[in-house]
Amino acid sequence: MPKRLTVDQQESYARDGFVAPIDIFSADEVAEIRAEIEAAEARWPNALDGAGRNNGHLALPVLDRIVHDSRVLDAVEDVIGGDILAAGSTLFIKEPHSGGFISWHQDARYAGMEPHNWVTGWVAISNVTEENGCMQMIPGSHIDPLRDHVDTFGENNLLTRGQEVQGIDEGDAVAVPLKPGQMSLHHPRIVHGSGPNQSNERRIGFALQSYIASTVEQVLGDMYVQHARGTDGPQHHLQAPRVREAMSDEAVALRIDANKKLADILYAGSERMGKY
Ligand SMILES: O=C(O)CCC(=O)C(=O)O
């Protein structure tokens, strides 16, 4: 018996490489989460944009609570099993009428986490629609081996290198709109991307990027994880404590180190660095 997904949802994840929508937070809960995130943006400008979009859960209790929420972990357990480590997070915010987009890509191409028994949760903090740039998935693309990517470093591309799988038929894409508080789960090899925000509202997504089974190794560098559920027998990774006080000196220092290690992984073999 799955814990949070239905059997149909588990089957559609296996078949398509993603599943959505999954109800997680109530309207009241997500309104509170959004207010806390926006208060943090106002209080610590730049802490959550640019490279500061990464690993906010190490420094902000509101994001830590999402990463460790038992409803989120139940859904994750339904696809990767019960020994779960949280290996990172990214806030993907698209401001109203902004050009930022995400090119077609596969997460596993640059993440260095092997084997691919891991999953990304993506929680909608705002309403997320086709107009404001929801994710688009190519169903079934996770079945094939990893594809070649071209590093474009495109000006408005929100990915580190602007990496892109070329030749995708957009007619095959399925949009993944979400209501605030809902989550999607996607497979490390699924080809996905998203368009710009053409609406008057902010599009705020929190990518739980990613949850790994405790047996998964990092082959491109070192990374911090947090124990989330079950046991971590192999202990392959650096252990990060959970944050106690927002933006404490200790938490900020840890996040700087985690983000440096993440950049070393994401830019491994690249000729240049991007904005993130
Ligand atoms: O936020 C987006 O539009 C895309 C995020 C993404 O590529 C991911 O979470 O893997």
Residues in the chain: 276
Q: Whose CA is nearest to atom 10 of ligand 1?
A: 107
The HSE-up count of residue 180 (CA atoms within 13 Å, CB side) is 17
pLDDT at 56 exceeding the cut of 90:
yes
For the chain, the domain total comes to 1
Segment 63-96, tens digit of pLDDT: 999 999 999 999 999 999 999 999 999 999 999 9
Q: Which of 14, 108, 57, 70 is nearest to 230 (CA)?
A: 70
Q: How far is the CA of 100 from the centre of ligand 1 (A)?
A: 12
Q: How far is the CA of 158 from the centre of ligand 1 (A)?
A: 9
Report pLDDT for 273: 84
Share of the chain above pLDDT 70, in %: 100
Mean pLDDT over the full length of the chain: 96
pLDDT at 274 exceeding the cut of 90:
no
**Residue 276 within any structural domain of the chain:** no
Q: CB under 8 Å to 219, separation ≥6 — which residues?
A: 112, 113, 114
Report pLDDT for 275: 78
Q: Which tokens go with 81?
A: 């099993």
Report pLDDT for 160: 87
Pocket probe for ligand 1: among 90, 210, 276, the residue whose CB has the most ligand atoms within 8 Å is: 90
pLDDT at 276 exceeding the cut of 80:
no
**Residue 272 within any structural domain of the chain:** no
Report pLDDT for 52: 87
pTM for the full predicted model: 0.97
Domain of residue 98 covers 7-266
Q: Whose CA is nearest to atom 9 of ligand 1?
A: 207
**Residue 218 within any structural domain of the chain:** yes
Q: CB under 8 Å to 164, separation ≥6 — which residues?
A: 103, 104, 105, 149, 150, 151, 152, 157
Report pLDDT for 74: 98
**Residue 239 within any structural domain of the chain:** yes
**Residue 52 within any structural domain of the chain:** yes
**Residue 142 within any structural domain of the chain:** yes
Report pLDDT for 60: 98
Ligand 1 site residues (CB inside 6 A) read 92, 102, 107, 120, 122, 135, 192, 194, 205, 207, 209
Segment 153-203, tens digit of pLDDT: 999 999 988 989 999 999 999 999 999 999 999 999 999 999 999 999 999
Q: Which of 20, 142, 32 is nearest to 75 (CA)?
A: 20
CATH number of the domain within which 200 lies: 2.60.120.620
Which 3 state secondary structure label does DSSP give 77?
helix
Q: 3-state SS of the chain: helix, strand, coil percent to 5?
A: 30, 25, 45
Ligand 1 atom, smallest distance to 186 CA: 10
Q: Whose CA is nearest to atom 1 of ligand 1?
A: 92
**In this structure, how many other beta carbons lie within 10 angstroms of the beta carbon of residue 62?**
20
Residue 243 φ/ψ region, left for φ over 0, alpha for ψ in the -120 to 50 degree band, beta for the rest: beta
Q: How far is the CA of 134 from the centre of ligand 1 (A)?
A: 9
pLDDT at 239 exceeding the cut of 90:
yes
**Residue 1 within any structural domain of the chain:** no
**Residue 271 within any structural domain of the chain:** no
d(CA 214, CA 57): 19
d(CA 243, CA 215): 24
